[in-house]
Amino acid sequence: MATIKDIAREAGVSAATVSRVLNNDLSLAVSEETRSRVFAVAGQLGYKPSRVRQLKRETELGSKTISLLLWCTAEEERDDPYYGSIRRGVELRCEELGIRLGQTLRGRTAFAPLRAGDGLIVVGGGFHPGELEKLHSDRTTTVLVDQYTERPEYDSVRTHFRQAVDQALGHLLELGHRDIAFIGGGSEGERRRHHFARIMQSQGCYDPALIRTGSWTSADGYRMMSELLSGVRRPTACFAASDPLAVGALRALHDHGVEVPAGMAIIGFDDIEMAAYVQPPLTTVRAYPEQMGKAAVQLLAERFEGREAPSHTIIGTKLIVRETSGGTAK
């Protein structure tokens, strides 16, 4: 069985150097050429090959830097924890894998081109492929997260929005609601609105007059619900495409003297921490944004290790029944 001294002799370095390289001591002042030679000799001599491969992988990933590009502004991230949770997932998985997290950029501000060879994670809609390639020309090491438009040539991570809307509307329809409103963001291609229209049309009860879109803030949730309440046809239920929108809608219902869920049932999306503590507690569809961020880093790690085919990850959702819908959990 090969020893550290055998590896040192063949690699032309000291035994202490071999030991520190194989134990991934990044404080060791040694060239990448020497590190690679030590790993190669260790592999040739059969020195604990599984551990060597693991350490080699850790060393290679530790040399990589991932940059993060967010479509939302800092204020939007503060108002809606969804994107902050994705960013936290990216940070946690980078730390777990030893990958360095470099620049965090926002799409509505000016930024310099990224260093060639870095991985790039793009979070949110609004980016054109041509714009992305100016930042990072290698599509194989660019991961799109929560994009409205599917781009099969890129790796991607998305929430299963069709499942989420199926769960929310299925619950309301089972409770007997037919006049169901939708409030959501006004982004072109927003999937929750698309799936809402599809399902309601299939049930023969879609009414475009009950659709409201705006920004993703609680203030706009309040505004959109107030508009619905003043309309000719008042809905009996509402699906809000985010929990902050639902929180604003709940306040509007309270201010207009509408009891929840007796006068209006409401379901949100995401299951932010506040959802369980509003009054009444909010029925919502739980998303897993932190898991999305971790999955994006994992896809890049696989690319760094040689995966060629594009990969697309879809993260599922779960209906969390509380009091605002008036139903009970199955």
Neighbours of 4 (CB within 10 A): 17
Residue ranges matching CATH 1.10.260 in the chain? 4-62
Sorted by sequence, the CB contacts under 8 Å of residue 44 that are 6+ apart come out as 10
Are 170 and 283 within 8 A, CB to CB?
no
In the CATH scheme, what is the code of domain 65-159+289-315? 3.40.50.2300
Q: What is the tens place of the pLDDT at every residue in 26-45?
A: 678 888 888 889 888 888 88
Residue 300 to residue 297: CA distance in whole angstroms: 5
Residues of the chain above pLDDT 90, percent: 55
Please provide the size of the chain in residues: 330
pLDDT confidence of residue 70: 87
Token pair, residue 256, equals: 């207009």
As to burial, measured by CB atoms within 10 angstroms (0-12 exposed, 13-18 middle, 19+ buried), residue 116 is: exposed
Give span(s): CATH 3.40.50.2300, the chain: 65-159+289-315, 161-288
In whole angstroms, what is the distance from residue 36 CA to residue 178 CA? 66
The pLDDT tens digits for 44-91 are 887 765 555 566 666 677 778 898 988 887 887 887 788 889 999 999
What's the whole-number mean pLDDT along residues 115-119? 65
How far apart CA 4 and CA 18 sit, in angstroms, is: 6
CATH topology classification for 161-288: Rossmann fold (3.40.50)
Whether 66 and 104 have beta carbons less than 8 Å apart is answered as no
| Whole-prediction pTM | 0.78
3-state class (DSSP) for residue 270: strand
Tokens 């080699």 correspond to: 56
> Which pLDDT score, from 0 to 100, does residue 147 have?
84
How far apart, in Å, do the first and last CA atoms of the chain sit?
59
pLDDT surpassing 70 at residue 246: yes
Task: Render pLDDT for 193-225 as a digit per residue (tens, 0 to 9).
Answer: 999 999 999 999 999 999 999 998 999 999 999
Residue range 153-195, pLDDT digits in tens: 899 999 999 999 999 999 999 999 999 999 998 876 688 999 9
What fold, for 4-62? 434 Repressor (Amino-terminal Domain) (1.10.260)
